[in-house]
Structure 1
Amino acid sequence: MRTPDAPPPDGRRLKGERRRRTLLDATLRLVGREGTAAVTQRGVAAEAGVPPSAVLYYFASVDGLLVAALTAVNDRYVEWLRAVGSLDDLAALLRGCAEQDRLLTVAEYELLLLAARRDDLRDELHRWDRALDDVAARLVPADRRPLLVAAVNGLCLAAVLGSPCDTGVLHRI
């Protein structure tokens, strides 16, 4: 609810945020189906149903769009990890990842692999690692933290591969 002294929402800003989200979602669909090489100005525009000029209006470059998609994915997961208070919460998060649209999971992982290949994106990988280590520090003794981190990363890979997601392993660490 808006407070009486708050300025009214800027319709242009809201429209711009929706358009950016539409372009990011289209990028994730393309990456999930065809990989990062499929992300072109025309490809994203066609997937999003917008004119090609919209892509570079909202993002400085196609690479900037990929980086924004990676950052948005990481933002979402880091926020979810911060909210994890128990192994059951973590298991539920991982099951949700395994149950979401598999192409989205593939896209998210593909973007992490892009970050692994590029020094300028390495901070996003470190941000994921720190968030995961923070969860492990809250949930298990120090000597088991590396095991929990490895299990979570393994379960994320299992989701990408379409393998069974046995989150019960978390309780056996």
Structure 2
Amino acid sequence: MAESRDATTPRRRDPEGRRREILAAAAELAAEHGPAALTHRAIAARAGVPLGSTTQHFASIDELRDAALQQLADEIDESLAAIEPFAADFARDPSRAAAEVLTFLQDRRAVLSDIALMTSGTTDPRLRALALRWNDRLIEMLTGPIGADAALALSVYLDGATIHAGLHDEPLDHAHLTRVFCALVGATGDADRAARDRRPEDRPDLTADSGSRHAPDPRA
């Protein structure tokens, strides 16, 4: 009969596995308590590794913090990728689009991760591009189906909806999201159509040129 392995036997060395454990623990802490809560001691305790392991795999707490935020950004990218197939629904079926967004807002880890990135980008210019990656991709994704103005408006609104979800036990409900999507897409669409349909005499930028080109010739 094979001898059972003693519980005190050290596990096989796996530097990459240990690094992943440390990084996962740092990402969890950053999402739950904010990036400012990251210390070598707190991360080691969460990962269940010796304190020295954190400095062995990451040169500084700043490097570890940046890597943790990068991991959170990658996770949010995956959430956004799940919404992307429904981008056209923001215009043609807002209720369906709202259901997909609600799935994201009900994911506590995703919401806290996004908030952690927003706060980091606000206070640390080095991390601003990382924090804006979600917004930039969302705007790019929605501009085709609903136009640039509506895409920007929805991106700003969803930032607020994300913070709201982080501050409350429940996110905004499906009916509310649907109404807002209809209002934002409809309002910006109406504004675009109104701008295109304005009469030339109501547009000072065209009046001067139009007058010079079409004024009657007094010699006629």
Normalization by structure 1: what TM-score?
0.74
The answer to whether 1:77 aligns with 2:83 is: no
Matched, 1:48 2:47: yes
| Separation (CA, whole Å) in 2 of partners of 1:33 and 1:46 | 15
Matched letter for residue 94 of structure 1:
V
The RMSD of aligned alpha carbons is 2.8
1:121 alignment partner in structure 2: 127
Q: Secondary structure of the equivalent of 2:49?
A: coil
Report if aligned partners of 2:73, 2:117 keep a CA contact under 8 Å in 1. no
Q: Is the contact made by 1:70 and 1:112 (CA closer than 8 Å) also made in structure 2?
A: no
Q: 8 Å contact 1:97–1:159 — kept in the other structure? A: no
Structure 2: gaps (5+ residues): 1-11, 186-220
Deviation at 1:129, TM superposition (A): 2.7
Quick one: higher RCO (CA 8 Å, sep 6+), 1 or 2? 1
Which position in structure 2 is the counterpart of 1:37?
Answer: 36
Task: Assess, with a 3 A threshold, how the Cα gap between structure 1 residues 16 and 134 changes in structure 2: closer, same or farther.
Answer: farther
Say if 2:20 is the partner of 1:21.
Answer: yes
Q: How many Å apart are 1:94 and its aligned residue?
A: 3.0
When residues 108 and 153 of structure 1 are mapped into structure 2, their CA distance, relative to the original with a 3 A threshold, is closer
- Distance, in Å, in 1 between the alignment partners of 2:59 and 2:99 is 37
Within the alignment, does 1:146 sit opposite 2:152 as a pair?
Answer: yes
Q: Distance in 2 between matches of 1:68 and 1:18?
A: 15
How far apart, CA to CA, are the structure 1 residues paired with 2:49 and 2:106? 29
Deviation larger for 16-25 or 140-149: 16-25
Which protein shows a greater Rg?
A: 2
Identity of aligned residues (%): 31
Q: 2:143 aligns to what SS in structure 1?
A: helix
Give 1:56 shift.
1.9
- Secondary structure at 1:85 match in 2: helix
Correspondences of 1:53-132 after superposition (within 5 Å): 53-83=52-82, 84-86=84-86, 87=90, 91-101=98-108, 105-132=111-138
Identify which range, 67-76 or 91-100, moves more after superposition.
Answer: 91-100
Q: Note if contact 1:94-1:155 (Cα within 8 Å) is conserved in structure 2.
A: no
Q: Do the aligned partners of 1:105 and 1:160 also contact (CA within 8 Å) in 2?
A: yes
Q: Unaligned regions of 5+ residues in structure 1, if any?
A: 1-10
Please, which moves more after superposition, 108-117 or 80-89? 80-89
How many correspondences in the alignment?
A: 160
Rounded to whole Å, the distance in 1 between the matches of 2:61 and 2:96 is 36
Deviation per CA, 1:95-128, whole angstroms, max 9, x where unpaired? 23322236x6335412331122112112213322
Q: For 1:170, which of 174, 177, 181 is the aligned residue?
A: 181
Sort the Cα spacing of 1:64 and 1:73 in 2 relative to 1 into closer, same or farther, 3 A. same
